[in-house]
Chains A and B, each alone.
Chain A
Amino acid sequence: MMKPPNFTVRMEHPELERARREIREFLAHDPAMATPRADSWSHFDPAFSGRLGRAGFIGMTWPKRYGGAERNSLERYVVIEELLAAGAPAAAHWIADRQTGPQILRFGSEDQRERILPAIARGECFCSIGMSEPDTGSDLASVRTRAERKGDGWTINGRKIWTSYAHQSHYVLVLCRTSENAAARHQGLSQILVPLDAPGLTIRPIINLAGTHDFNELLFEDVQAPADALIGTEGAGWAQVISELAFERSGPERFLSSFVALEAFAEMARREPTAEAAALIGSLISRLAPLRGMSMSIAAQLGQGESPNFEAALVKEMGSLFEQDVTERLLEEVVPAADPESSDKFRRLLAEAVLRAPSFSIRGGTREILRGIIARDLGLR
């Protein structure tokens, strides 16, 4: 018989309330909050990330000796959901805080940790994900970018694509093939941390449909990386990538990307409440509240070193549907037209959310891939 997912809802501890007060206080006084953003973890603002890092809100769960704050995973959850709900421009540090930093902490050498983690925690060092390639999208194990051992280091050749903020970040963690002899294609992969200003690395912009430059295509032509750029074990890249998926897929950024548009709608509707507006808001918050419960349950499990990948896939499946339905419902029922140039907050945020919504069910694993993962955990594959 199938094993049901493990979700446990708990009452919020007082330390979570404290974390919530602290981050709200920080945001209330931060100049970036004059202009809240939809899909705000796709708005790159290094100055904001610097202020956030200096206030102790990046790398929150990491040991103090690496610049962390040694707070628990639920306190971090509270902080990141507050950033998203407020529309704070959190893209610059997001990947390093969520993914690259934890990978270095878990698999990196002592030297790598000491060298990189404190800068990430200060909000001064930003990272990109180097996974997808022009011929490697959902089928990640088909990566072809190669790293060869040459003398004392690595020589990298190949291409990466959809690399968000590579043009503004410091490092890209490249998943590459380091051995062709492996019988299974999931073997022979490794993760190498490459500085984005390395000679031989060309970064080309890809403009998204909203007209902004987030994505890039990366061309590696004999890019040299030192031996200690390898993160973790040579050949264990696939297992290392899989181990971070629950971090990548379960967070509140999987359901709050369009929330600010709903908040702005509620602000407007409060002035002249109607039954239709009430129904719209109720129908969405009754979906949001359980999603938060699921995501927090996973945050607690991650804090205990577990890998709740099934649970994370369920959150992303439900969450991306929800954040897309927010824009759907608002477009269906609300009169003021979405306008990215509008001085009206609701119209601008709705426009930003609508233009980004197609990406919600693609980034971080497409809906189809996630449903496949869930089906496997149900015992169907």
Chain B
Amino acid sequence: MSDIAMIEDTVRRMLADGLTAPVLEASEQGKWAGALWERLEKEGLTQPAASAEGGAGEGLETEAAVLRAAAGAALPLPLAETAIAGWILGQHGLDVPAGPLTVASFTPRETLTLEAGHVSGRLEGVAWGRDAAAIVAVAGGKLALLDRKSAAITHGANLASEPRDALEFSKAPPLAIGGAADAEALLCRCAAVRALQLAEAAGRVLEIAVEYAGQRKQFGKAIGGFQAIQHQLAAAASEVASARVAAQQAYLALAARRNMLFACAVAKARANDAAGAVARIGHQVHGAIGFTREYQLHRYTRRIQSWRGEYGASAYWNRRLGELALGAKERSLWSIVTSGI
């Protein structure tokens, strides 16, 4: 087993052990899974890219492995957000504070101002905003690390009961200010992570559905023996495979610092649509049991339906990709597909 596969396996085991029914239920009620977070932090898994020994590329491989395991377990903690925040801070030469971190949504409408060293404005839909020690955002065109305690917080949640809060800053002193920040580049970075999470959640839905289809008997045989079921699951398997490859391509582009916008846009658009299709098929194969709170399928499908919209829905990224392709006047579409924008 490669080092990367070993890391992924270790995290999977740790989460299988730590994500007990009471922990999951408490998380659904908005309770912070503190004991599990501390365990992840102690193992150095909350800053996976920083803990890798090699360069940025290896750090991202480690990050991807940890986040695959987390998404495959529907971990109700901001491991992904903390990883992204740490990575962005590192890229901007800023120190990474301890504890859970998060990132803004980086939508084009988001405009925090930076005046006389103080930050004002509103961030919407901040993942785990209430639980994070600090938030990475863009203020006045610069990278800003903001203190959660300096914000007025309005609670919100996504479909999977994960916190998505509004944070209002009024002349708040930032924890740190970095250099100029490109909000679209940050959006891409986050989109790549959500793409990976979507692909893994979809992969888990497929796994659960295949297992169920092999056990559930109707008309005297396992329903997986019916072509109608087999063909749907086969279609789901191809969706999962292409979403995973798209996420891999985005991480590769991030590691090489080449063609990032194209690869991240592709990854998020593909993973959004693939995961949506797999969630639909996963539920259809399960029948009524998949629609219950008791059965585990919803832990993945509710996340999928929320994540599809976060850091760019498919319509956004498809239009953006198309604009870039049409805007490159001297280029063929094929040269863009093969070498990027």
Given contacts A281-B325, A285-B321, contact A290 B238 (CB under 8 A): no
Q: Does A291 contact B (CB under 8 A)?
A: yes
**Which A residues touch B234, using CB under 8 A?**
317, 370-372, 374-375, 378
- CB neighbours (8 Å) of B231 from chain A are 368, 371-372, 375
Distance between B160 CB and nearest chain A CB, rounded to angstroms: 24
Q: How far is the CA of A281 from the CA of B323 in the complex (A)?
A: 9
- A residues near B266, Cβ cutoff 8 Å: 285-286, 289-290
Q: Are A263 and B334 in contact (CB-based, < 8 A)?
A: yes
Please, which residues of chain A bring their CB within 8 A of the CB of B329?
A: 270
User: Interface 1/0s, chain B 203-245, versus A by CB < 8 A?
Assistant: 1000100110110000000001101011101110111111111
State whether A11 touches B252 (Cβ < 8 A). yes
From residue A35, how far is it (CB to closest CB) to chain B in Å?
A: 17
Residues of A within 8 A of B265 (CB): 282, 286
User: Quick one: which of A1, A285, A290, A379 contacts B333, CB cutoff 8 A?
Assistant: A285
Instruction: Please judge, given known A-B contacts A263-B333, A287-B270, A314-B237, whether A281 and B322 are in contact too, CB under 8 Å.
Output: yes
Query: Nearest Cβ distance between residue A295 and chain B, in whole angstroms?
Result: 10
Q: List the A residue with the shortest CB-CB distance to B262.
A: A289
A33 within 8 A of B: no
Instruction: Give the CA-CA distance A161 to B61 in the complex, in Å.
Output: 50
- For the complex, give the distance between the alpha carbons of A4 and B211 in Å: 13
Convert B192-203 into 0s and 1s, putting 1 for each residue whose CB lies closer than 8 angstroms to a CB of A.
Answer: 000000000001
Beta-carbon contact of B337 and A290 below 8 Å: no
Asked whether any CB of chain B lies closer than 8 Å to the CB of A177, the reply is: no
Task: Please name the residue on chain A nearest to B242 by beta carbon.
Answer: A290
**CB of A20 closer than 8 Å to a CB of B:** yes
A296 CA to B317 CA, complexed, in Å: 24
A7 touches B241 (CB 8 A): yes
Q: What chain B residues lie within 8 Å of A291 (beta carbons)?
A: 242
Which of A168-176, A271-279, A342-350 makes up part of the contact surface? A271-279
The smallest beta-carbon distance between B240 and chain A, in angstroms, is: 8
Q: Does B98 contact A (CB under 8 A)?
A: no
Q: Is the CB of A11 within 8 A of B323?
A: no
Decide: A4 and B203 in contact? CB cutoff 8 A.
Answer: yes
Q: Is the CB of B230 within 8 A of A375?
A: yes
Contact (Cβ within 8 A) B207 A1: yes
B326 lies within 8 A of chain A by Cβ:
yes
Residues of B near A267 (CB, < 8 A) are 332
**Complex alpha-carbon distance, A4 and B265, angstroms:** 25
Query: What is the CA–CA distance of A297 and B267 in the complex, to the nearest angstrom?
Result: 17
Q: Are B245 and A7 within 8 A (Cβ)?
A: yes
Given contacts A289-B249, A290-B270, contact A378 B210 (CB under 8 A): yes
Binary B-proximity of A1-25 (CB < 8 A = 1, otherwise 0): 1101101111100000000100000
The 8 Å CB contact of A287, one of B225, B242, B323, is: B242
The answer to whether B214 and A266 touch across the interface, beta carbons within 8 angstroms, is no
Q: Is the CB of A290 within 8 A of B210?
A: no
A-facing residues in B238-272 (Cβ within 8 Å): 238-246, 248-249, 252, 256, 262-263, 265-267, 269-270
Which residues on A sit within 8 Å (CB–CB) of B211? Answer: 1
User: Is B336 located at the chain interface by the 8 A CB criterion?
Assistant: yes
Contact bitstring A365-381, B, C-beta under 8 A = 1, else 0: 00010111011001111
Q: Which residues of A contact B46 (CB under 8 A)?
A: none
Q: Take A4-B203, A270-B326, A286-B270 as given contacts and tell me if A381 and B319 are in contact as well, using a CB distance cutoff of 8 Å.
A: no
Q: Which of B229, B242, B243, B248 has the most CB of A within 10 A?
A: B242
Chain A residues with CB under 8 Å of B233's CB are 374-375, 378, 380
A165 within 8 A of B: no
| Docked complex: A142-176 residues within 8 A CB-CB of B | none
B325/A290 in contact, CB under 8 A: no
In the docked arrangement, what's the CA distance between A279 and B327, Å? 13
Q: In the docked arrangement, what's the CA distance between A268 and B321, Å?
A: 17
B243 / chain A contacts, CB cutoff of 8 Å? 290
**B161 CB-CB contact with A under 8 Å:** no
Chain B residues whose C-beta falls within 8 Å of the C-beta of A311 in the assembled complex: 241
- Determine the residue in chain B with the shortest Cβ distance to A5: B241
In the complex formed, the residue of B with least CB distance to A322 is: B242
Q: How far is the CB of A378 from chain B (nearest CB, A)?
A: 5
User: B332: which A residues are within 8 A, CB to CB?
Assistant: 263, 266-267
Residue among B224, B270, B338 with the highest chain A CB neighbour number at 10 A: B338
Contact indicator A314/B241 (Cβ below 8 Å): yes
B47 at the A interface (CB under 8 A): no
Q: Name B240's closest neighbour in chain A (CB-CB).
A: A4
Partner of B245, one of A294, A371, A375: A294
Residue B6 interfacial (CB < 8 Å) = no
- State in angstroms the CA–CA spacing of A263 and B334 once bound together: 7
Within 8 A of B (CB), among A43-98: 81, 85-86
Instruction: State the B residues within 8 Å of A (CB).
Output: 203, 207, 210-211, 213-214, 224-225, 227, 229-231, 233-235, 237-246, 248-249, 252, 256, 262-263, 265-267, 269-270, 314-315, 317-323, 325-327, 329, 332-334, 336-338
Sample of 12 A–B contacts (CB below 8 Å): A7-B245, A279-B319, A282-B318, A283-B322, A286-B270, A289-B266, A289-B337, A291-B242, A318-B241, A368-B227, A375-B230, A379-B214
Other than the given A86-B334, A286-B270, A317-B235, 11 more pairs (CB < 8 A) read A4-B241, A278-B323, A283-B322, A286-B317, A287-B270, A288-B337, A290-B267, A317-B234, A371-B230, A375-B233, A379-B210
